Amino acid sequence: MAETPLTRQAALMKDLGMWVHRASAPGWDEIRLLLKPVGEAVHVRIEEVRGRGSVVRTGELAPGSQAYADVHELRDLLYTHPSGTWHTFLIHLHARAWPVPTVSVDGVADYDDEPPHWEEGESADLSAEDLLEDYTTYPRTREATPEWVVRRVAEAGLHLPYIPAGESAPGRWPVVDAGSLGGADGPGAAAPRAVTDTRSGHRHVPRLAAPPERLTVLVDRDGIPHEDGRRPQQHRRTVPGSASVREILDGLGLPLLFVDGHGTWMVVRGTSGADGAHTLGVVVQEGGGAVVHVTTDLEPWQLADEEGELALYYRSVPGPPAEVVAAAELDETWTPTRPRGAVADNLPVRRALERYSAAPGADRGLDVLRQALGGQLLLDCTGTVLGPDGEPTRVVVNFVTAPDGEKALPAFTHHSELVAFRRDDDGAARSLVQPAHGVLEFFVADGDAAWLYINPAGPPLGIHRDQVELALRPGHNAAVKNALMGCGPTGVPLGPHPDRPPSMQVLFDALRTEGGFLFLGEGAATTGTLLAFSSAVEVAAHDRSLPFRRTEVHRVLEQVTSDGLDVLRINPGGPQAEIPAEQVRRFLGLPPA
Write the pLDDT tens digit of every residue in 452-497: 999 998 877 889 999 999 899 999 999 999 999 888 777 777 765 5
pLDDT at 179: 36
CATH 3.40.1350 fits 497-587, yes or no: yes
Cβ atoms 129, 156 nearer than 8 A: yes
Q: Coil, strand, or helix at residue 353?
A: helix
- Of the pLDDT bands very low, low, confident and very high (cuts 50, 70, 90), residue 170 is very low
**What are the structural domain ranges in the chain?**
5-193, 214-329, 347-473, 497-587
pTM: 0.67
Q: Which residue in 567, 562, 569 sits closest to 582, CA to CA?
A: 567
**Of 240-254, 288-302, 336-350, 548-562, the least confident:** 336-350
pLDDT at 283: 95
pLDDT at 314: 94
Question: ω before 99 within 30° of 0 (cis)?
Answer: yes
Write the pLDDT tens digit of every residue in 54-66: 888 888 888 888 8
Write the pLDDT tens digit of every residue in 500-514: 788 999 999 999 988
For residue 180, what is the DSSP state? G
Give the whole-angstrom CA distance, residue 292 versus residue 253: 9
pLDDT at 193: 55
Decide if pLDDT at 160 tops 70: yes
pLDDT at 567: 93
CA dist 144 to 127, 227, 419, Å? 19, 52, 61
Decide if pLDDT at 587 tops 90: yes
Decide if pLDDT at 533 tops 50: yes
Write the pLDDT tens digit of every residue in 428-463: 788 888 899 999 999 999 999 999 999 998 877 889
Task: Map 98-125 to HEC letters.
Answer: CCCCEEEEEEEEECCCCCCCCCCCCCCC
Average pLDDT, the chain: 83
Write the pLDDT tens digit of every residue in 172-227: 444 433 333 333 333 334 445 556 666 666 666 777 888 899 999 999 999 988 77
User: Are 214-329 and 497-587 the same fold in CATH?
Assistant: no
Concatenated DSSP letters of 428-484: ---EEEEEHHHHHHHHHHSTTEEEEEESTTSS--EEEHHHHHHHHTT-B-HHHHHHH
Concatenated DSSP letters of 49-103: EETTEEEEEEEEPPTTSHHHHHHHHHHHHT-BTTTB--SEEEEEEEEESTTS-EE
Decide if pLDDT at 12 tops 80: yes
Decide if pLDDT at 424 tops 90: no
Report CA 90 to chain centroid distance, whole Å.
Answer: 19
Helix, strand, coil content of the chain in percent (nearest 5): 25, 25, 45
Concatenated DSSP letters of 361-429: -HHHHHHHHHHTTSSEEEEE-TTPEE-TTS-EEE-----EE-TTS-EEEEEESBHHHHHHHTTTSSS--
pLDDT at 173: 40
Report CA 118 to chain centroid distance, whole Å.
Answer: 19
More confident of the two residues 576 and 390: 576
Q: Which residue in 265, 248, 325 sits closest to 293, CA to CA?
A: 325
Decide if pLDDT at 171 tops 70: no
Q: Which long-range contacts (CB under 8 A, 24 or more apart) does 439-445 make?
A: 439/372, 439/377, 439/379, 439/409, 439/411, 440/372, 440/373, 440/468, 440/471, 440/472, 441/472, 442/379, 442/397, 442/409, 443/409, 443/411, 443/468, 444/468, 444/469, 444/472
- Of the pLDDT bands very low, low, confident and very high (cuts 50, 70, 90), residue 109 is confident
More confident of the two residues 276 and 81: 81
CATH architecture of 347-473: 3-Layer(aba) Sandwich (3.40)
For residue 419, report the phi and psi dihedrals to the nearest 5 degrees: -60, -45
Query: Which residue type is seen at 142?
Result: R
For 477-550, where are the alpha helices, taking DSSP H only?
478-484, 504-511, 536-542
Pick the CATH number of 214-329 from 3.10.290, 3.10.20, 2.40.240, 3.40.50: 3.10.20
CA dist 279 to 273, 282, 298, 314, 533, Å? 10, 8, 10, 10, 36
Q: Coil, strand, or helix at residue 179?
A: helix
Quick one: residue 88, left, alpha or beta (phi over 0 = left, psi -120 to 50 = alpha)? beta
Burial pattern 500-510, b for ≥16 Cβ within 10 A else e, equals ebbbbbbbbbb
- What would the mean pLDDT of 269-278 be, rounded to a whole number? 67
**Of 80-89, 318-327, 396-405, 407-416, the least confident:** 80-89
- What would the mean pLDDT of 110-124 be, rounded to a whole number? 72
